[in-house]
Amino acid sequence: MRTTLTLLLVCCCQTLFAQNDTDLTLSDLRHAELQMTALVNSHSLEMHDARNSLAVAEYDLAVFNSFGQSETAKTLALDLFLEQDALSNAIEELEQLKIMYDRNNLADVTAQMVLDRAERSLLRQQISVELAQTAIAKWEQFGMIHQQRELNDAVTSAKLNLAYLEAEHVSSRFELNREIDDIKLALAEIRAETNNE
């Protein structure tokens, strides 16, 4: 009788242990499947963001190539033209002042003060023209190339990020699928052992 009770108790414990192992393995499987769902959802969002970043970078590059270079060059040329026009005005004004003061014989101090002011204005305008010319040269030599390089780098970086994310997610999905397969195998083994007993 005692042996029968002991055997019954051992069988019950084995069944409970097997059921507990099954429950734990099923819980692990559900957890891994939830992780896979979360991974797929986060992958979708990250890829969407990466594709948007690439689209923005490609758009910025296309706009620069279509309009940015020529518009910047036109703006710099206009600045130069305005500075040259202002320089011409300053030269004409100085010449007119010299003629006017020469004819009117105004007081030497007043005339000299007005002429000095006009000459300083002329000098400032000459410097402004030189700066505008330098700005154009710098843009053509460095600025345009630098801007182009930055935009190209942004496109390349966005493409690399997209490829990296794709590879990372493929690797993560592979690892998680392998973990799910291992759990399913363990669950099948537990069930087989339980059925054999």
Cα–Cα distance measured from residue 102 to residue 111, given in angstroms and rounded to the nearest whole number: 9
Domain ranges of the chain: 2-196
Cα–Cα distance measured from residue 30 to residue 12, given in angstroms and rounded to the nearest whole number: 26
pLDDT at 167 over 80: yes
> Is the entire prediction scored with pTM above 0.85?
no
pLDDT at 157: 93
pLDDT at 106 over 60: no
pLDDT in tens, 112-154: 777 788 888 888 888 888 888 888 888 788 888 888 899 999 9
Residue 105's pLDDT band, with cuts at 50, 70 and 90, is low
Place of tokens 């402004």: 128
Distances (CA, A) of 187 to 53, 173, 174, 195: 43, 21, 20, 12
Spatial contact of 35 and 172, defined as CB atoms under 8 Å apart? no
Percent residues over pLDDT 90 in the chain: 13
Ordered alpha helix ranges (H), 105-142: 108-138
pLDDT in tens, 169-178: 888 888 888 8
The fold adopted by the segment(s) 2-196 is Helix Hairpins (1.10.287)
pLDDT in tens, 47-62: 899 999 989 999 998 8
- 112 or 45, which is more confident? 45
